[in-house]
Structures are given as structure tokens and as C-alpha cells.
């Protein structure tokens, strides 16, 4: 009798958990309008931008990014220090439920450092996004000229 009671309590506990407790970021984070800035010949850095929508019920963290287009890929922000705008590496981007997070020039962005080749207008690069829950997603990112971005 006790065993049956414990079994039933376990079943109730399992089914009373929120259904979204195990949602993966890669399943609920929607990405729109991705683009990367074209790099002039000899330039070894560029930036990638996009809009994140968290359609889930939980906060998720974007913790890293990778791309074969660059040796290093970092999450960045711009901060004002002593009257000057400076880029700063960030450990993660918070993606709150129902939130839209915009990555744009002069704001949050994905920095591509040590470009592995030409990133020219009309081409496309792939960026792999990694989330704190271990899930990941790949984004095809079209390359735009500097004049097309502004």
C-alpha cells in the first residue's frame, strides 16, 4: 500500500511540473534579420547582427558563438567610458520570455575576430549559436556592405 502511494505521489509530482521546464533554447529562440558587415580587404574583424525572439516560457542565455569565418567569435556590447564608446566582451546575452533582443551596430553584437577569408557583400557565412542549456542552432548570415547597413 505504501509503495502504491509513493508511486502515485511520484506520478503526480512528475505531471505537476511545468511543461516548459525542459524547453530547449534552440526550440524557442527565433532569429530574424541576420546580417554581417562586409570587411574591406585586409580587415581582420567584422560584426554580425540579428534579432532574437524568445517565444518560450523561460529565460535563456546565449553563451557563445562559433563560425568558420573567424578564428574567434565573441559576444560584445558597446559601453560609454570617459566620453568614448568602447566594445566590451560579454559572458552571455539574456533572452527573457516574450522579449525581443536586437543586436545592431553600435549596440549588442557578435564580433568576428581573425577573419579566415574575405567577407564580402553578397556572400553568406554560418554562425553557430550556443545556449546555456547545451542546445545550439546554426544561422545563415548574409553579408551586407557598410552603406547598406546604415
The pLDDT value recorded for residue 14 is: 47
CB 32, CB 70: distance < 8 Å: no
- The reply to whether 33 falls in a domain is yes
- The reply to whether 15 falls in a domain is no
Q: Which H or E element spans position 66? A: strand 60-66
Number of independent structural domains in the chain: 1
- CATH code at position 103: 2.60.40.1890
- The reply to whether 1 falls in a domain is no
Give the N- to C-terminal CA distance of the chain in Å, as an integer.
71
- The reply to whether 128 falls in a domain is yes
* 3-state helix vs strand vs coil in the chain, percent to 5: 20, 50, 30
Low-confidence ranges of the chain (pLDDT < 70): 1-21, 147-150
**Domain hosting residue 50, numbered range:** 23-149
Rounded distance between C-alpha atoms, residue 78 and residue 99, angstroms: 20
Is residue 19 classed as helix, strand or coil in its secondary structure?
helix
Give the CA angle between residues 19, 14, 29 to the nearest 5°.
Answer: 20
Tens digits of residue pLDDT in 46-88: 999 999 999 999 999 999 999 999 999 999 998 878 888 888 9
Dihedral sign for Cα 79, 71, 50, 54, please. Answer: negative
Closest among 14, 114, 33 to 6, alpha carbons compared: 14
β 29-37/136-144 pair status: parallel
CB 33, CB 126: distance < 8 Å: no
Closest among 62, 38, 61 to 48, alpha carbons compared: 38
Q: Taking the model in full, what pTM does it have?
A: 0.82
Phi, psi torsion values for 5, nearest 5 degrees = -65, -45
- The reply to whether 12 falls in a domain is no
Other beta carbons within 10 Å of 133: 16
The pLDDT value recorded for residue 19 is: 45
Amino acid at each position: 500500500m505504501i509503495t502504491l502511494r509513493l508511486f502515485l505521489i511520484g506520478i503526480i509530482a512528475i505531471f505537476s511540473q511545468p511543461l516548459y521546464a525542459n524547453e530547449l533554447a534552440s526550440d524557442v529562440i527565433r532569429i530574424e534579420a541576420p546580417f554581417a558587415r562586409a570587411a574591406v580587404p585586409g580587415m581582420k574583424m567584422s560584426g554580425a547582427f540579428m534579432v532574437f525572439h524568445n517565444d518560450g516560457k523561460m529565460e535563456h542565455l546565449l553563451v557563445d558563438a562559433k563560425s568558420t569565418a573567424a578564428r574567434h567569435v565573441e559576444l560584445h556590447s558597446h559601453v560609454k567610458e570617459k566620453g568614448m564608446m568602447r566594445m566590451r566582451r560579454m559572458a552571455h546575452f539574456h533572452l527573457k520570455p516574450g522579449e525581443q533582443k536586437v543586436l545592431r551596430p553600435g549596440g549588442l553584437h557578435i564580433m568576428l575576430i581573425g577573419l579566415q577569408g574575405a567577407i564580402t557583400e553578397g556572400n553568406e557565412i554560418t554562425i553557430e549559436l550556443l545556449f546555456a542549456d547545451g542546445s545550439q542552432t546554426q544561422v545563415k548570415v548574409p553579408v551586407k556592405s557598410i552603406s547598406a547597413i546604415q
